[in-house]
Structure 1
Amino acid sequence: MTNFIPIFPLEIVVYPGEQLNLHIFEDRYKQLVAECFKEKKMFGIPPVLKNKIAETGTLVRITEVVKQYADGKMDIKTEGISLFRVLEVINSIPAKLYSGAIVKHLQHDEDGVSRHVQKIVGAMRELHRLLGVQKNFNKPDDTLKSYDIAHHSALSLEEEYELLCLLREDQRMEYLRRHLQKTIPVVAGIENLKKKIQLNGHFKELKGFDFNFGK
């Protein structure tokens, strides 16, 4: 199915099911949000990559206007709903400050399973341990999906977008598995280097080489 949607391009990737808080301060997006909230319409967030609007984006709905300021600025809560592909960007819309796009709505698999899910979540937890961070997902680890953990797996913006473009859960989990498999040894190496640097100048208890070893 194709249709027209208002768009709010941002330098972020939003996943279906994600809760996203936004502070709205530009006039064009104050208008967009006010209209969408009043008319209970959704809008699209296509990621901006290297100063260009990406082809695949996420349709979001406004769940709450938390605060409205005297000058029209707003704090809002939104939720990612589904994916779309931009067919054509409409830069100028009569009587509107914001832009829009003709989009094709995409079917994505959220209920698929991966046989590696426990290993992938375990690897993410190991990455967090190395980085000294903690993340509570408020659900059991064995029920986590790719969209739950993608933002917490040290992906670059471009890598988060690559994962967004994968429409099957097993493909997304495999992407995360390979990424974590590459990333953890790098982070572990940095941690070892930090410990080595911190030890520099301290008195070290090191065993000397045994010249009689093997004789």
Structure 2
Amino acid sequence: MEIPIFPLGTVLFPGGRLPLRIFEPRYAEMTKACIRDNQVFGVSLIRAGYEAGTPAVPSEIGCTARIIEWEEPSSGLFNLNAQGETLFRLKSRRTQADGLIVGEIELIEPPDPIGMPERYEKLQQLLTDLVKEIGPEHFTRPPRFNDAAWVGSRLAELLPVPPERKQKLLEENDPLWMLAEVENMLRDLREDPPEK
């Protein structure tokens, strides 16, 4: 399966929302094709390079994204809301003449659904409070507070930690391991809050 790859400085998890402002011609063309054909594109954390300009080097593990809302305020400029769907492994990639990266990917099977273990009740409550505070419209609906993968992914997205740490969570693809790591990260943040 070949899809366009969008290397970004952010990590997209399955079920996550990703607002994007598209202005580079290569991504404007990609956007038009994805809207026209109802196709996904791949979001992959940048390993080397930058979001704009010369094509960046994407991470091997990424997440497919589907455009769920879009507007074109002016020709070639798009405001998008995309949603993460499925993890993938990038098998090979090539760069088109316009600078768009096209990757041959292999979809990664999602883990079996797991309910929220009792020991992570505080994480479940934390996410419930955050969704209320931020606004449920910024999350996939309906919310799945009893789904370990959904809760772990949403908390991982919201944590103020470097994208490389979020990428590690994405690559493990294990909901219970993710919840344990999120708990550790929250403990670290409480002990050593990020500088304002």
- In the superposition, the TM-score normalised over structure 1's length comes to 0.72
Shift in Å at residue 142 of structure 1? 5.7
**1:110/1:168 contact within 8 Å kept:** no
Q: Deviations over 1:36-84 (max 9, x none)?
A: 110111110111134331110010111122x213331111121111000
In 2: Cα distance, 1:172 partner to 1:11 partner: 21
Indicate the residue corresponding to 1:152 in structure 2. Answer: 158
**1:49/1:158 contact within 8 Å kept:** no
Indicate the residue corresponding to 1:62 in structure 2. Answer: 67
- Is 1:4 the counterpart of 2:2? The answer is yes
**2:124/2:151 contact within 8 Å kept:** no
Comparing 159-168 with 146-155, greater Cα deviation is found at 146-155
Indicate the residue corresponding to 1:102 in structure 2. Answer: 104
| Unpaired stretches in structure 2, ≥5 consecutive residues | 50-56, 138-142
Indicate the residue corresponding to 1:119 in structure 2. Answer: 122
Identical-pair percentage: 20
Kindly indicate which of the two structures has a greater share of residues assigned to strand: 2
Alignment partner of 2:178: what SS?
helix
Indicate the residue corresponding to 1:164 in structure 2. Answer: 170
Q: 1:17 to 1:125 in 2, by over 3 A?
A: closer
Alignment partner of 2:104: what SS?
strand
Q: More relative contact order in 1 or in 2 (CA 8 Å, sep 6+)?
A: 2
**1:107/1:167 contact within 8 Å kept:** no
Q: Deviations over 1:164-209 (max 9, x none)?
A: 1111211111111222222212239x8xxxxxxxxxxxxxxxxxxx
**1:4/1:102 contact within 8 Å kept:** yes
**1:9/1:45 contact within 8 Å kept:** yes
**1:15/1:58 contact within 8 Å kept:** yes
In 1: Cα distance, 2:136 partner to 2:34 partner: 29
In 2: Cα distance, 1:38 partner to 1:102 partner: 21
> How many residue pairs are counted as aligned between the two chains?
179
Indicate the residue corresponding to 1:194 in structure 2. Answer: none
**2:115/2:146 contact within 8 Å kept:** no
